[in-house]
Amino acid sequence: MIVTIDGPAGSGKSTAAKGLAARLGFRFLDTGALYRVTAYECLRAGVEANDETAAVRIAEALDVRFDGDRVYSAGIDVTTEIRTPEVTEIASVVARYADVRQAMDRRQREFAVGQNIVTEGRDQGTVVFPDAQCKFFLVADAEERASRRKLEMESQGQSIALDELTVQIEDRDRRDADRSVAPLKAADDAINVETSRLNADEVIDLLERTVRERLIDNSG
């Protein structure tokens, strides 16, 4: 079974997807990390985010490996490096390039072959896995998402003003929703989940109940 969890930045997708995968015994696919690694490698190579040709070349040549919560690029642990604000901004830009997205889509589908997976991103239920058996779309207000992201960054030793972070998230929402390739939107058959007033366990509980119901229905 493939379970997709889409939604804007800071809506709780990654936490929910990791927790849900652990409870179900499924594999977790962190699609956002693929774009972040692409952005990180662009930054490391001195490639400007608006250099589409170079960004595509880097995306197609990525050597990415996941080991639990750790992310490796060419054998180097880049888990912390790909979460910086600079990488985040570049990732949002390169994710708009059609050929970058096609390269990432291929990798994601290859990862899922023969697997029970929980995958999260912005176009998992609409583009990458349109036939997924269970789809969710998580939402939360921008201020709440900024607060969550600030706490995450502070836990990694990074600091940024809350109002600045809120503006960044709102700008990214607009870019993601307005892009011509795989814009951020809920699949027609996705279940919308408002997470602003729910803690992580409550969100995962809700998702788990739904997935297990689908598993029972499919087994019958």
What structural domains does the chain harbor?
A: 1-26+116-220 (3.40.50.300), 30-114 (3.40.50.300)
DSSP-derived secondary structure letter, 62? -
Give residue-wise pLDDT tens across range 64-93.
988 878 999 999 999 999 989 899 889 989
Other CB atoms closer than 10 Å to residue 117's CB: what's the count? 22
- Position 90, amino acid: I
- Position 180, amino acid: S
Query: Residue 33 and residue 101: Cα distance in Å, rounded?
Result: 13
Give residue-wise pLDDT tens across range 160-197.
889 988 998 888 888 888 877 778 889 999 999 999 88
Question: DSSP letters of 170-208?
Answer: HHHHHHHHH-SSS-S---TTPEEEE-TT--HHHHHHHHH
Give residue-wise pLDDT tens across range 199-219.
999 999 999 999 999 888 776
Query: Residue 61 and residue 124: Cα distance in Å, rounded?
Result: 22
pLDDT of residue 111: 87
Q: With 80 as the cut, is the pLDDT of residue 35 above it?
A: yes
DSSP-derived secondary structure letter, 132? -
Q: With 60 as the cut, is the pLDDT of residue 220 above it?
A: no
Whose structure tokens read 């229905």?
217
Both tokens of residue 94? 């390169």
Percent of the chain with pLDDT over 70: 99
DSSP-derived secondary structure letter, 25? T
Both tokens of residue 86? 């600079």
Please give the average per-residue pLDDT across 134-163, as a whole number: 87
Please give the average per-residue pLDDT across 45-58, as a whole number: 95
Find, among 35, 33, 1, the residue nearest to 135 by Cα.
Answer: 1
Please give the average per-residue pLDDT across 28-46, as a whole number: 94
pLDDT of residue 11: 87
Please give the average per-residue pLDDT across 16-43, as a whole number: 94
Listed in sequence order, the DSSP H helices in 45-125 are: 52-60, 85-94, 98-112
Query: Residue 29 and residue 34: Cα distance in Å, rounded?
Result: 10
Average pLDDT along the chain: 91
Tell me the residue ranges of DSSP E strands in the chain: 2-6, 27-30, 64-67, 70-73, 76-77, 117-121, 134-139, 191-194
